[in-house]
Every structure is written in C-alpha cells, then in structure tokens.
Amino acid sequence: MRIALMCGSSLDEFQQQSLTPILNDDTIEIVEALIDCRPKPSAKKRFLKNLKRGRGGYMLVMLVKSRFSKRRPSAGSREFLSAKGIPCTETTQPYAEENIQRLKALRPEAMVMLGGFGIVKEPLLSLAPQGILSYHHGNMRKYRGQPVGFWELYNGEREMGVTVQRLAAGIDKGTPIVEKTVPIEKGDRVNTLCERALHASTDMMHRALQLVGKAGYTPAAIEEYGPVYTLPNLRQYIVLQFKLLFR
C-alpha cells in the first residue's frame, strides 16, 4: 500500500510511536512526507485570541502550568523521517499547486496526518482514493473538538473514546475507521487520562491502514455527530477541579 504522510515541523513521542508499526510493515510504502512549516502563532497571540473569546483565564493557567511541566520528547520531522529513508517536502504553502500535483503523481492510496495543517480542506481531502486518516481522541458521536479528556471528565463520563477517522469537511465529521474506549479511573486528571488515551492508541493508525487497504472495505458512517467542544473558560476549569476533588 502506498501512503503519504502529513505532519508538522516536529514529531512528538506519540506521533513517533504511531509511526513505528507503519515503518515496520513491509506491505506499506511511504512515498513522501509533506511537512507543514508554517510558523505557529506566538503564545501571546494565542492568549489574546482566546481572551477575546472569553477563554483568556484558562489559557493563562495553561501557560503557567506549561512552564513547570515536563516537555514531551520530540524530534524534527525532516531529520526523523529522512533517517528512515522517507522523501520529505517542507512547505509554508501546503495547498500550492506544485505540492498537489507532486502528490498526485506519487499516487498514494491513502494519506496519514500526524500534526500540522489545521482543518484540512480540498483538494487535499480527496487527493488519495482512501482519503486522509487522522486521530481524534474522543468519540465523535458525543465529543468533537478539544481539549482531550477535559469534557469527558467535566461531564462525569466513565470512559472516553479514541478514533482514527477518514477526514471529511468540518471539525471531526469524518468516518471512523478504528475506534477504542479508554476507561476513566477515579483518580484521573486531564493529564493522566490524556496520557493513557495516547498510550492506548499508538497502534490504531496502522490498524486503520490495514483495514482501508482491504479490497471492498466500507466503513460504517456515523448517523449523528456530537457537539463541537472548545477550550473551556476559567470558570469551567475551576468547576472541573472541584468535581475531581470531591469525586
């Protein structure tokens, strides 16, 4: 099976681990990695943007926490993938005609997105016959959007979903290819639930590629999608802390 990768300028530990079974599968050929090198908004710009949307207090808490939290190991995408013999193209214009035509000429059967790109649109969405596969750490029937694990804990769920979806237009409105549930334990916080969900899902992208590569495979569509969740405001963040404290 011929596939192309889509990723940001760096690959974190989870993304690297998700690639490992794909790289070790002799039936899968990675014909190119398209690396989205567009500059990311600064912390200040992200804070001001969310401040206008009433989420500045939450962003400030997250910025402070990030100063004291352990950084997740990461590697430069080009360095990591080139070392594996994968041709790489870095771009600040992912939808440039030269990128689209080159990818079409490579004839990937599917594309795998592991970061970067934001909300993907045409013509990338339909460039490969099997579309673009991407992770969503949530059950799309109940929880679309972000942040991972927050709203499941806020709403008192007993489990959270993890999905590899075939992307479609809209936020998490694709077709699920592989799904899994992760139990929510009594002592869970957002970070512990997120880490467990990531750990439980590193093999799911490989399984999804195996499924879409089968002749005649047709995934079941979702009849009704859940609401789109966004970053919480400060009040919602504080309410969650009290809920977790007295759970």
Q: What is the pLDDT of residues 26-59, one digit of tens each?
A: 999 999 999 999 998 887 788 788 888 888 888 8
Spatial CA neighbour of 15 closest among 74, 67, 93, 66: 74
Q: Is 18 within 8 Å of 115 (Cβ atoms)?
A: no
pTM of the model: 0.93
For residue 116, is it left (φ>0), alpha (ψ between -120 and 50) or beta? left
Domain annotation for the chain: domains and CATH numbers: 2-245 (3.40.50.170)
Q: In this structure, how many other beta carbons lie within 10 angstroms of the beta carbon of residue 49?
A: 13
Q: What is the DSSP letter of 245?
A: H
Across 9-13, 16-20, 49-53, 150-154, least confident range:
49-53
In this structure, which amino acid lies at residue 140? M
CA distance to 11, 86, 177, per residue, from 114 (Å): 8, 15, 16
Can you list the alpha helix ranges (DSSP code H) found in the chain?
13-23, 43-52, 56-68, 77-82, 97-106, 150-154, 190-200, 204-212, 234-245
